[in-house]
Structure 1
Amino acid sequence: APKAQYYKAYCYYSDDNFAEAIVQFDLTLTNYPNSNVAPSAQFNKAYTYYSDSKFDQAVIEFQNYITSYPNFDKYIAALYYKANSKYYSETYTYVQARDEFLNIVNNYSNSDYAANAQYKVAYCYYNLQDYATAATEYQKVSANYPQSPKAIDAYYWQAYCQYKLADYTSAITNWTSYVNAHIPNKKAGAGWYKIGRSYDKAGDVTNAKIAYNKVINDYPNCNDYNNAVNKIALLP
């Protein structure tokens, strides 16, 4: 009976009927609080609120999981999604979300969520417009979690923060690392355009033209193609 009730709830969740899924997960927890499906019911109740963008309630329910099931396998996931819920909620600040992500980075550095948590630490600083600290935190993603998919995106955003700080040399270095990881697709074109803009801002017309031409010749389908055409036309 507990499993049947739980899977009924999960089926509603899978069908995106979030309201009914919540009702059914609640019934699982109310009727079978000591069953082996209760921890999963609590986690998925929280995740249903998260999926439905009801982030304030998700914070409460993930905390309920954290408090009730500290030794279960979804504990770190609950910490991460609670932090993410605070990140997306309008009730909480980026500083509050950052502190939750830092807890994961500092105390669960070998977990599957550590790289994403570090990335979100950086993003919190970015949203706070603290570009110097954000650049440092993005660098930690690529340095400490080089195998993570977020490592590549971290090069881009580290470079963007450095660009905002007018540190064009460092921005070029990191956007170059980014394009080297994205050669086969349009993201490389976006990276080359940013390299061109950095050289342009630094007054290096020759290398700016090289970068813009790279976009025009090699990535005609990228979103910055027209921007590159327009920018190169303005150069002497």
Structure 2
Amino acid sequence: MSPLVLCVVLAVAPKSAREGPASIRPVDKSIAMDARADAKRDEAIDKLKKLLPTVNDTSQKPELLYRLAEMYWGKSKYAHLRAMQSWDAGLDRWEKGGKKGPVPALERESATIDATGYRAQALELYRKILQEYPKYDRRAEVLYSLATAQYDAGETKLGVETFWQLIKEQPDSSFAADAWLQLGEHFFNLGKLVSAVKAYESAAATKRPRVYAYATYKLAWCDFNLQDYQTALTKFRA
């Protein structure tokens, strides 16, 4: 990797890889900090968009494309946060004003429209990487990013299919373990407890500490909902 490309990659690299539902992160209450981070994303996006046309090396290009996709994904999350805050403030004003006029709608917030656009750009780039660079060494991570983005965008069926694709293609990847967790969550929320149990058990079988703890916890809830209270209690105590 050339020094210039390496510098850009390091400059825009996220602090850690995307993680699954077992990763619980504190909510950043400072919108000012989020705004500063988003401004940094804009700078990174500008640098990447200028650099990409000059790079032909197939070992470098997918890395830069992935960084760009993650920048757009981050912008979509921040725009969604702004939309939620604006919508909440609008609802508060509407209620204090005697509920006159139309009820504020989240989908009509300008930031929601922004979030949708950024998400679409991220999805397009994830797909481009998977299609044009099938040997990219972070393929499992890109598949996971695509699946979670699809699911969050309401493309539930596609998201589930991509999680299955990840598990089939990269069964030993840490992202496959998280994909099992996500499938477990999907089935659990649908009330399909038998399928949820299979997914959580598969996640736990990877023996990855973070994944194992969360999968065992959710298996206990599956047992509880299946009225196997003693087994549930044993797992809750584990």
Q: Shorter-chain TM-score category?
A: 0.5 to 0.7
In the alignment, which residue of structure 2 is the partner of 1:141? 166
In structure 1, the residue corresponding to 2:11 is in which secondary structure?
helix
Q: 1:88 aligns with which of 51, 74, 78?
A: 74
Cα deviation code 1:172-205 (max 9, x no counterpart): 111000111127x36423212212223434xx21
Task: Tell me how many residue pairs correspond in the alignment.
Answer: 176
Deviation at 1:44, TM superposition (A): 1.7
Deviation at 1:117, TM superposition (A): 0.8
1:212/1:128 CA distance change after superposition, 3 Å:
farther
Identity, % of aligned positions: 16
Matched, 1:119 2:144: yes
Deviation at 1:72, TM superposition (A): 6.0
User: What is the CA–CA distance in structure 1 between the aligned matches of 2:211 and 2:158, rounded to whole Å?
Assistant: 25
Cα deviation code 1:138-168 (max 9, x no counterpart): 1111111123221111111121122222222
Alignment-mate amino acid for residue 66 of structure 1: L
Cα deviation code 1:92-124 (max 9, x no counterpart): 532221111111112212211211111001110
User: What is the CA–CA distance in structure 2 between the aligned matches of 1:114 and 1:141, rounded to whole Å?
Assistant: 9
The structure whose Rg is larger is 1
CA contact (8 A) 2:65 2:129 kept: yes
CA contact (8 A) 1:196 1:211 kept: yes
Matched, 1:48 2:48: no
TM-score (norm 2): 0.65
In the alignment, which residue of structure 2 is the partner of 1:215? 236
In the alignment, which residue of structure 1 is the partner of 2:227? 205
Structure 2 unaligned segments of length 5 or more: list them: 15-35, 80-113
Alignment-mate amino acid for residue 135 of structure 1: V
In structure 2, the residue corresponding to 1:147 is in which secondary structure?
coil
1:96/1:167 CA distance change after superposition, 3 Å:
farther
CA contact (8 A) 2:188 2:196 kept: yes
User: What is the CA–CA distance in structure 1 between the aligned matches of 2:196 and 2:230, rounded to whole Å?
Assistant: 17
Mapping of 1:173-188 within 5 angstroms? 173-182=198-207, 185=209, 187-188=211-212
User: What is the CA–CA distance in structure 2 between the aligned matches of 1:164 and 1:130, rounded to whole Å?
Assistant: 16
Name the Cα RMSD after superposition: 2.5
User: What is the CA–CA distance in structure 2 between the aligned matches of 1:135 and 1:209, rounded to whole Å?
Assistant: 32
CA contact (8 A) 1:94 1:127 kept: no
In the alignment, which residue of structure 2 is the partner of 1:17? none
1:86/1:191 CA distance change after superposition, 3 Å:
same
CA contact (8 A) 1:145 1:151 kept: yes
Structure 1 unaligned segments of length 5 or more: list them: 1-36, 219-236
Matched, 1:196 2:234: no
